[in-house]
Structure 1
Amino acid sequence: MLLGIVFSQNLLNWDAWLSLLIGIAAFTGVTGATYIFNDISDLGEDRHHPEKQHRPIASGQVSVTVAVVFGLFLAGIGLGAAYSLGPLFLAILLTYLAQNVLYSLVLKQFVFVDVLVVAIGFVLRAIAGVIAINVFLSPWLIVCTFLLALVLAFGKRRNELEIAANPQETRAVLREYSVNDIDQLLVMVMATLLMSYSLYTFSRTDPAMMATLLFAFFAVFRYHHLVHTTNIAGQPEYLLTDRPSVVNLILWGIVAIAVLYNIPEMAVEVVQ
């Protein structure tokens, strides 16, 4: 959700930040509720998963009743915050909620549909970030977010196939996947992601944005390496513990912001 405020050049707009933070709180609440619902619906499978069996609900540390009550509380807080941002933002959040419920109940059982639905969820978050601050929705934001989410989703499926003794017991749809198929799909989606981001840098922004391509390529190459050499794909948030990835992300952010906000030109004007 943060990409919209950065790329719309509203990084220093405090009113936009206030709306965005409310939007983030809304999505955090509803996302938490959907995770609880998903953990409850996956209870049987999670107990056979080498990692998920340690989750609070699967391990029995938190009862289903307590989880349901807490999930409803989070959903109420999230929807209330969304309502304060207007009907369109609320509609996006309700769509996200409905999508996750359908995923937990039905859609996760269909090969490829499962990862596509996950990717669409990330797109809805990105769209919500733009709607919250009322700026233009770039199609490039949708495309790149969708492809990046697909990369992460396929990486996670690959990790599940590798670490589980009987993958179909932890996630039924895994019987339809193979490591070889996912490796090919990963390469295809990664290539498409890099091509899309490359087109964005010189077709819709200052050509100087092409300076960020080096970091984008490194990020994809690094993730591909980690997927095949570590278990980091199973928990993508652990990428924030991978020092090369974090340094690369920071450098990408610095260069992107410098280009988008014309910082070099502003610095020259100040010196003169």
Structure 2
Amino acid sequence: MTERAATLVKQSGRAPGPRRPPLPARGPLRLPAGLIRTARPRQWVKNVLVAAAPAAAGELDSRHTAVQLALVFVLFTAAASAVYLVNDARDAEADRAHPEKRRRPVAAGQVPVPVAYGAGALLAAAATGSAAALCTPMTAALLSAYVVMQLAYCVWLKHVLVVDLAVVTTGFLMRAMIGGVALGIPLSRWFLITAGFGALFMVAAKRYSEAVRMEGAAGATRALLTSYTTGYLRFVWQLAAGVAVLAYCLWALESGGTADGGLLPWRQLSMIAFILAVLRYAVFADRGTAGAPEDVVLRDRPLAVIGLVWLAMYGLAVADL
């Protein structure tokens, strides 16, 4: 115990408790602002994955496609935000023990727990109801399955070893699938394998980073982290990265060479950028600093440049240019 802590004990007669984050200043916009923050606007970038399947099939050149993808993006964003609201309401106490999550509006007291539950339920109902009214039956079913699965994760599945990784990974895969389902585009087996294991790579790297950072206190923030070892989580993200790279390379090598009229074999060349992107992200995963994938992707300039180069090569390959 430090001298300052000892002085506090003598003065108050009891040991000082854990620090809690200061509450935000009160005001008329305090609650709405807290609800918006809890809905995770920075996470909405993940929902761009709804365009992955149409992009892979080269089906992004019509107004109908753009309108459908915009609708699916909004619905999936609402569904994901509903899950975030419910999750933060359930995890408010545990989040207060985390150095960053304790600043979340529900954990900090800015958004009352019942309000978070109510807003989450309204958003989930609005998203699934709108999908049933405005989209194809398969799209509505997939979105509803996502909401049910993620709510089950918040309540129970996040406490089941390995299943928790599979559920979060499946959520990413559903994002990647729903655009193709909405537009009736067949989903390639290589697309599904690459997207699925790429998502598992990022999810396992996030868990690994959190386990490294919270070593010794991991159970206070995410109970299941005490059941994983850092060695196991490292094995999972390395395995997933390897399978994703292999599946992508097999897709690229299906083409025998340069497309008719094309200047270069863009499919094969895109393997270089894809592998470099995985290797660059793996640097952060290995350091234990990949706890927020969106920060890694958006803030690391070399990774962003590699990603843009890959997108350009992939687009040229899909367009057969």
Give TM-score, length-normalised by structure 2: 0.78
Are 1:87 and 2:145 matched, yes or no?
no
Q: Which runs of 4+ in 1 moved over 6 A?
A: 204-207
In structure 2, the partner of 1:44 is 93
One-letter amino acid of the counterpart of residue 236, structure 1: P
In structure 2, the partner of 1:115 is 165
Are 1:183 and 2:239 matched, yes or no?
no
Identify the match of residue 237 of structure 1 among 266, 290, 294.
Answer: 294
Deviation for aligned residue 1:184: 2.1
Give TM-score, length-normalised by structure 1: 0.91
Question: Size of the alignment, in residue pairs?
Answer: 262
In structure 2, the partner of 1:171 is 222
Identify the match of residue 214 of structure 1 among 268, 272, 280.
Answer: 272
User: Which protein is richer in helix relative to its size?
Assistant: 1
Q: Distance in 2 between matches of 1:91 and 1:205?
A: 38
In structure 2, the partner of 1:270 is none
In structure 1, the partner of 2:181 is 131
One-letter amino acid of the counterpart of residue 262, structure 1: D
CA contact (8 A) 2:194 2:243 kept: no
Are 1:26 and 2:75 matched, yes or no?
yes
CA contact (8 A) 2:213 2:288 kept: no
Q: Which runs of 5+ in 1 are unaligned?
A: 264-272
Q: Distance in 1 between matches of 2:228 and 2:208?
A: 9
Moved more, 149-158 or 204-213: 204-213
Residues 169-206 of structure 1: CA deviation (Å, up to 9, x unaligned):
11111111121222222222111111111111122797
Moved more, 66-75 or 83-92: 66-75
Are 1:255 and 2:313 matched, yes or no?
yes
One-letter amino acid of the counterpart of residue 183, structure 1: R
Residues 157-176 of structure 1: CA deviation (Å, up to 9, x unaligned):
11111222400111111111
Q: Distance in 1 between matches of 2:237 and 2:116?
A: 35
In structure 1, the partner of 2:60 is 11
Give the percent of matched residue pairs that are identical in Structure 1 and Structure 2: 29
Q: Over alpha carbons, which structure has the higher Rg?
A: 2
CA contact (8 A) 2:209 2:287 kept: no
Deviation for aligned residue 1:210: 1.2
Q: Distance in 2 between matches of 1:236 and 1:132?
A: 27
Q: Distance in 2 between matches of 1:73 and 1:205?
A: 51
Moved more, 76-85 or 29-38: 76-85
One-letter amino acid of the counterpart of residue 210, structure 1: Q
In structure 1, the partner of 2:110 is 61
Distance 1:203 1:58, change over 3 A: same
CA contact (8 A) 1:25 1:81 kept: no
Q: Distance in 2 between matches of 1:206 and 1:153?
A: 34
Deviation for aligned residue 1:61: 1.1
Identify the match of residue 102 of structure 1 among 131, 141, 152.
Answer: 152
Deviation for aligned residue 1:227: 1.7
Deviation for aligned residue 1:229: 3.1
Q: Distance in 1 between matches of 2:187 and 2:218?
A: 39
Distance 1:17 1:154, change over 3 A: same
Q: Distance in 1 between matches of 2:239 and 2:121?
A: 39
Query: What SS does structure 1 have at the residue aligned with 2:82?
Result: helix
CA contact (8 A) 1:151 1:190 kept: yes
